[in-house]
Structure 1
Amino acid sequence: MFISIAMMLFNPLWMESLLNQWLWQEEYWLPPGIHWQDVDMKGEDGHFPLPRDLIYTLPLAFTFIALRYVFERLIAVPFSKHLGVKDRIRIRAASIPKLETFYKQSSRQPSQSEVVNLGKQCGLSQRKIQTWFRHRRNQDRPNNTKKFCEASWRFVFYLVAFTAGLGSLINSPWLWDHRECWRGYPKQPVAKAHYWYYILEMGFYLSLLMCVSVDVKRKDFKEQVIHHIATIFLIGFSYCSNYVRVGTLVMLVHDSSDFLLESAKMFHYAGWTRTCDSLFVVFAVVFLVTRLVVFPGRVIHTTLVVSAEFFQPFFGYYFFNALLLVLQVLHIFWAYLILRMVYKFVFMGKLERDERSDAESEVDDEEEEPEEEGEESSWAQRKGAINSKLASLAHNCVLNNLTNQRNINSRLPKAR
C-alpha cells in the first residue's frame, strides 16, 4: 500500500493531473466563458505567459544573491570608503560563557529578575550584567558600511529596473490609456522585454525575501516582509492570469521612488547631510504622488472599475485587487512615517533618522556609559582619552578661552 502511494506521489503524470484538477482550474485564472485552449497563442506574434515560466525565478534569485555578494565586496565597500563612510568603534563584550548562552538562547534584553539571577550565577553586580548586555547588543549592531552596501545594491537594481521598465513601456499604449490594459483580455501576447521585466523583478524580490533574516532588521521589518510576500504573489498571479500589462505599471510605479530612497540612505551613511536631505525631499514628493495619487487613482481604479467593463469579475479579479489593496495599506503606513519626517525637517531644520525603514528596532543607541567605581583599567583608558582631547583643544587655543587645563585635570577624579 505504502509503495503504491509513494509511486503516485512521485509520478509526474499524476502530479500534473492533480495540479490541473485543483490549482489550474479555469475559473481561478480566466474570466467566465474563457478556456485554456482559447488563449493558446502558438504561432502568433508574442509569447503567452505560462505558469512554468516562473520556475526560472528561483535560480535567478540565487544568482542575484551571488551577484550581490560580489558587488558588495568589489564595488560597494571601496565606494563607501571613497565617500567617507565611517564605522563607529564599539567596546567588545568580555567573554562570559553563561551570559553568552543566555544572550543567544533566551533574551537579548533580560528583565530585572533575570539580571539579578545572572549576577548571582556569575558573581557580578547588576550594573556589570546590564553593561555586558548593552555592549553585546551593540556588538551585533550592523555598522554603517554594511548598511551602505545593502542600500547601494538595492539602489543599483531599482535604478536599472526603473530605467529598463520605462524604456520598454514608453511606446506601449496602456501606459497612456489604461483601458488598453484590458482590450482583448485575456488574449494578449507578452513582448520579450515585458517578459524579462517580470521575471527579473520576481527573482529580485525572491532574493530579498531569502536574505531578510541576515539583512539589517529595521523598524518596519514586519511590514517589509509582508510587502515582499505580497509583491511576489502579485507578480506571480498576475503573470499566470496574464495581468501583465497592468502588472508592468505596478512595478514601474514602485521602482520610480525606491531608487531615490536608497540613494538618500547611501549619502546618509556617508555623512553627506545636505545631499541626503535634498534627495529625501525629492523622494518624499515622488513617493507621495506615485503611491497615494497615481497608484490608487490610476492603477487600482483600472483594475477595480475599468476592467469590469471588459469581462465579468472572477476569482482572479478579486484576488489581484486584494493584493493591490494590501500594498496600498502599506503605502499609507509608510506615507505617515515620511510625513512625520518631513514635518521634522520643515519645523526643526533637519532629518534625524529615516523613520520609514532605516532605524533598527532590535538594538539600542545608548552611549557607552562609564563602568563602576572599581574598574581602574577602563577608567585609566577613558582618562587618557580625555587628557588627549584636552591637549588637542589647548593646542588649538580653544581651551584657554574657557578654563585652565590644569584645573580641569585636577577635577577629573571628582567627575569620576
Structure 2
Amino acid sequence: MEALLNEWLWQEKFWLPPGVGWKDIQTQGADGRFPLPRDLIYTLPLAFAFIALRYVFERLIAVPLSKRLGVKDRIRIRAASVPKLETFYKQNRRQPSQSEIVVLGKQCGLSQRKIQTWFRHRRNQDRPSNTKKFCEASWRFVFYLAAFTAGLASLINTPWFWDHRECWRGYPKQPVAEAHHWYYILEMGFYLSLLLSVSVDVKRKDFKEQVIHHIATLFLIGFSYCANYVRVGTLVMFVHDSSDFLLESAKMFHYAGWTTTCDSLFVVFAVVFLVTRLVVLPSRVIYSTLVVSKDYFKPFNGYYFFNALLLVLQALHIFWAYLILRMVYKFVFLGKVERDERSDEESEVEDEEEEDEPEEDGDEFSWEQRKGTINSKLASLANNCVLNNLTNQRNINSRLPKAR
C-alpha cells in the first residue's frame, strides 16, 4: 500500500516544485518541524473528538445559555399516526404533488385537505427548534473565536503576516512552528467534523454551497500542509476566522429575539466580511499565490491545484457577498431584514402553523386539528384585543387636549 501511494499519490512532481524532493523537507529544523503528510492522520480522530465535545458543550453549556438569553421554541402540533402517510413521507417526498395527494386520500380514506394538513404538520414536526439552531451557532462561535484569537497570537509577530513575499522566500524548505502545526491540525479536524455532521445539522438555503465550501477547505488545508504552503495557508485560515465568529454571534442573538443586537452585529459582520473576503483575500493572498510566488519557483501541478481551490472559495465568497448586500440594502433602506434571506434559515419552504379549520368528519386526528385551530384563533383574538385597546387608548389620548 505504501509503495502504491508513493508511486501514484505522493509523486514529487505533484506536490513540490521542480528540483525539490521529499528528502529535502523531511528533516527536523531548528526552528520547528517540517510538515509531513502522515501528520494529517490525526485529524480523523480529532474530528470525532470535536463531535463528542460538541455534544457535551451543547447540553451542558449551550442549552442553559439559550434559556438565560430567552430563546423560545414554537409549539407545534404532532402529526397523527397514519402509517401509509408516514411511509410515503420517509420513502418518497415530504411535499406530495396534487395527483399523489389524490391517490393517498383514496388509500387512507381521508380528504385531500386532511392529507395536506397532515403533511404540513409532519414537516413542521421535523423543523429544527430555535434551541437546536442556537446550540449549533454557539458551538461554532466558540471555535471560530478561539481559532481567530489563537491565529492572531501566533501570526502577529511573523514576517509573512506583514510582508507576503516572506511566504515564498526559501520555499519549500521552511520549518513550521509548533503553534502553526497545531493551528492546521485543529482547523482541519474541525472542518472534517462539520462535514461528518452535515446530515444532522440544520439544513440551510445555502446547503450545497456549504458542503462545497467544507470539501474545498479540507482539500486546501490538506494539500497546503503536505506541500508546505503553511505560511500562506495560515493567512487564508485567519482571514476566514476573522468574520465567521461575528456571523455566529449574530445568529445566536437572532434566535434569542434580541433584534437590535443581532442587526448591529450583522452590520459589523457584513463590513468585516466584505473587506476581508472581497478585498484582503484576493488582493493580498490570492495575488501572492498566483503572481508573487512565481518569482521564487516555477509553477508545478500543486501550484495550479492550490490556486484553483482558492478561486473556488473566492467564487463562494462572491455568492455570499451578494446575499449579504441584499440583506444590508433591505436593512438600511427598508428598515428590516427579510427572514427568508438570512443564511441560517432552512432550505425548505416555511410552513405556516395551524391555519386550517377542522372538517366535519370525526377522524382519528380531527381533535388535534380542532385544538390547534382553537388555540391559534384564541391567540389571534387576544392579539387583536390588545391592538384595539392600544389603538383606542392612543386615539383617546390624542383627543384629550382638544377636549380640554
**Paired AA for residue 120 in structure 2:** R
Q: Deviations over 1:38-59 (max 9, x none)?
A: 2232353310000000000000
Q: Deviations over 1:274-332 (max 9, x none)?
A: 00000000000000000000010001000000000000000010000000000000000
Aligned match of 1:134 in 76, 96, 120? 120
Asked if the contact 1:155–1:259 (Cα under 8 Å) also holds between the matched residues in 2, the reply is yes
Residue aligning to 1:238: 224
Aligned match of 1:287 in 250, 257, 273? 273
**Distance across 1 between alignment mates of 2:31 and 2:74:** 58
Question: Does the alignment pair 1:227 with 2:218?
Answer: no
TM-score, scaled relative to structure 1 = 0.89
Aligned match of 2:389 in 374, 394, 398? 398
SS at match of 2:89: helix
Residue aligning to 2:397: none
Aligned match of 1:315 in 301, 305, 311? 301
**Distance across 1 between alignment mates of 2:192 and 2:256:** 29
Asked if the contact 1:292–1:331 (Cα under 8 Å) also holds between the matched residues in 2, the reply is yes
Asked if the contact 1:51–1:240 (Cα under 8 Å) also holds between the matched residues in 2, the reply is yes
Residue aligning to 1:54: 40
Residue 354 to residue 72, structure 1, CA distance change in 2 (3 Å) = farther
Residue aligning to 2:166: 180
Residue 42 to residue 132, structure 1, CA distance change in 2 (3 Å) = same
Residue aligning to 1:335: 321
Aligned match of 2:202 in 216, 220, 223? 216
Shift of 1:350: 1.3
Percent of paired sites with the same residue: 81
**Paired AA for residue 398 in structure 1:** N
Question: Does the alignment pair 1:107 with 2:93?
Answer: yes
Shift of 1:202: 0.1
Asked if the contact 1:341–1:354 (Cα under 8 Å) also holds between the matched residues in 2, the reply is no
SS at match of 1:398: helix
**Paired AA for residue 200 in structure 2:** V
Asked if the contact 1:87–1:144 (Cα under 8 Å) also holds between the matched residues in 2, the reply is yes
Residue 94 to residue 399, structure 1, CA distance change in 2 (3 Å) = farther
**Distance across 2 between alignment mates of 1:397 and 1:266:** 33
**Paired AA for residue 141 in structure 2:** F
Question: Does the alignment pair 1:32 with 2:23?
Answer: no
Shift of 1:362: 2.3
Residue 260 to residue 384, structure 1, CA distance change in 2 (3 Å) = closer
Q: Where does structure 1 lack aligned partners over 5 or more consecutive residues? A: 1-14, 403-416
**Distance across 2 between alignment mates of 1:387 and 1:366:** 17
Residue aligning to 1:158: 144
**Distance across 1 between alignment mates of 2:160 and 2:372:** 67
Which structure 2 residues correspond to residues 239-258 of structure 1 after superposition, within 5 A?
239-258=225-244
SS at match of 2:339: coil
**Distance across 2 between alignment mates of 1:296 and 1:334:** 15
**Distance across 2 between alignment mates of 1:374 and 1:338:** 48
Shift of 1:26: 0.8
**Paired AA for residue 145 in structure 1:** T
Aligned match of 1:78 in 40, 64, 85? 64
**Paired AA for residue 371 in structure 1:** E
**Distance across 2 between alignment mates of 1:256 and 1:384:** 45
**Distance across 2 between alignment mates of 1:384 and 1:354:** 26
Shift of 1:373: 3.4
Q: How many residues matched?
A: 388
Residue aligning to 1:149: 135
Asked if the contact 1:41–1:189 (Cα under 8 Å) also holds between the matched residues in 2, the reply is no
**Distance across 2 between alignment mates of 1:392 and 1:37:** 75
Asked if the contact 2:17–2:297 (Cα under 8 Å) also holds between the matched residues in 1, the reply is yes
Shift of 1:379: 3.9
Question: Cα RMSD between the aligned structures?
Answer: 2.0
**Distance across 2 between alignment mates of 1:116 and 1:296:** 54
Q: Where does structure 2 lack aligned partners over 5 or more consecutive residues? A: 394-404
**Distance across 2 between alignment mates of 1:237 and 1:19:** 15
Asked if the contact 2:120–2:351 (Cα under 8 Å) also holds between the matched residues in 1, the reply is no
Aligned match of 1:263 in 225, 231, 249? 249
**Distance across 2 between alignment mates of 1:122 and 1:336:** 46
**Distance across 2 between alignment mates of 1:44 and 1:400:** 77
Residue 101 to residue 388, structure 1, CA distance change in 2 (3 Å) = closer
Residue 156 to residue 384, structure 1, CA distance change in 2 (3 Å) = closer
**Paired AA for residue 335 in structure 1:** A
TM-score, scaled relative to structure 2 = 0.92
Asked if the contact 2:26–2:35 (Cα under 8 Å) also holds between the matched residues in 1, the reply is no
